[in-house]
Amino acid sequence: MGRLLAIDYGKKRTGIAVSDSQKLIANGLTTVPTSELYNFLDEYLTKEDVELIIVGYALQTNGEESENMKRVTPFVNRLKKLYKTIPIELYDERFTSVLAHQIIHKSGIHKKKRETNKGLVDKISATILLEDYMNSIYYKSKELK
């Protein structure tokens, strides 16, 4: 069984999260400089069996696309060309960064460390995105029964 890979695409940094092979648990994998993202994905997808890539759909609170979608859309189009055998799905990422900041703050990480480790927010955001996606699939499957 393949894993699910979630991508919280950003202008400077991109958070990556991955599920276990049974698709039960979402884990923050890493944060990659966006300029190095394709190299990272090439290497990762060569080693791991990924059955679906979930990319954060950047929406504003009013439901309109955010400024970041100008970067996300070409990224997703390129992914589809490069990895034709892996389906790619956009999934609403609203509030993932806010939730990530709250989690980090509540975790007790000192302010100075939070400020120097900005990639932590991106990795946690990707994890929240993946958890939300997995929960939505679980609850949809329960509704169908």
- The domain limits of the chain are 3-144
Q: Which of 101, 45, 83 is nearest to 29 (CA)?
A: 45
Residue 129 to residue 29: CA distance in whole angstroms: 13
pLDDT tens per residue across span 98-135: 555 555 556 566 555 544 556 667 888 899 889 889 88
Q: Which residues pair with 6 in a beta bridge?
A: 17, 54
* Neighbouring C-beta atoms of residue 143, cutoff 10 Å: 7
pLDDT tens per residue across span 42-90: 999 999 999 999 999 877 777 777 777 889 999 999 999 999 999 999 9
Rounded average pLDDT over 22-31: 91
**pLDDT the model gives residue 98:** 52
**pLDDT the model gives residue 68:** 75
**pLDDT the model gives residue 117:** 57
Pick 3-144's CATH classification: 3.40.50.720, 3.40.1260.10, 3.30.420.140, 3.30.1950.10.
3.30.420.140
